[in-house]
């Protein structure tokens, strides 16, 4: 299965496990005193570096930041511009029990930096239980920089 996944441009098992582990490690850093819904992400750059992020709520709700966008902001502020994929997980009080797909704003941020057919998103419930999607599957008919 791993060979077929890699041929299709999707990550292999070792890459997925590594990203999920890093997202799990970042989960306790989430700041979610209002919703108590903690989210973490691990973003893989094309050069092999990984940036993690966690959600950060704010009493003024629109000022909050999602885990995925936090990871992108860290990477972009370090000069990264090319990305392969991201692992995302989360749950109430930091307990991952269900899938945690990126919100629409996060999907659009991903689209800014990656082609929808080649960027992949891992939704994980554990190291063993995950789903892999392309950005195109989660954001069909997307609006990207090439349309400007």
49 is written with which tokens?
A: 């570096």
Rounded to whole angstroms, the Cα distance separating 20 from 14 reads 10
Rounded to whole angstroms, the Cα distance separating 83 from 118 reads 9
**Is 68 among the catalytic positions?**
yes
Which entry of 21, 68, 112, 129 is annotated as an active-site residue? 68
Torsion of CA 24, 11, 122, 62, to 10 degrees: 90
Rounded to whole angstroms, the Cα distance separating 24 from 38 reads 11
What residues act catalytically?
A: 68
């Amino acid at each position: 299965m791993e060979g077929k996944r890699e041929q299709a441009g999707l990550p292999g098992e070792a890459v997925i496990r590594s990203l999920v582990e890093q997202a799990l490690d970042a989960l306790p850093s989430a700041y979610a005193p209002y919703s108590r819904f903690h989210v973490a992400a691990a973003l893989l750059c094309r050069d092999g570096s990984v940036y993690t992020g966690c959600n950060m709520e704010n009493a003024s709700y629109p000022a909050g930041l999602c885990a995925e966008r936090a990871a992108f902001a860290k990477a972009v502020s370090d000069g990264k511009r090319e990305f392969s994929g991201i692992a995302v997980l989360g749950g109430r009080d930091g307990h991952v029990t269900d899938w945690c797909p990126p919100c629409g704003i996060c999907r659009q941020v991903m689209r800014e930096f990656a082609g929808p057919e080649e960027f992949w998103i891992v939704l994980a419930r554990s190291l063993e239980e995950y789903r892999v999607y392309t950005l195109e599957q989660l954001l069909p008919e997307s609006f990207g920089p090439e349309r400007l």
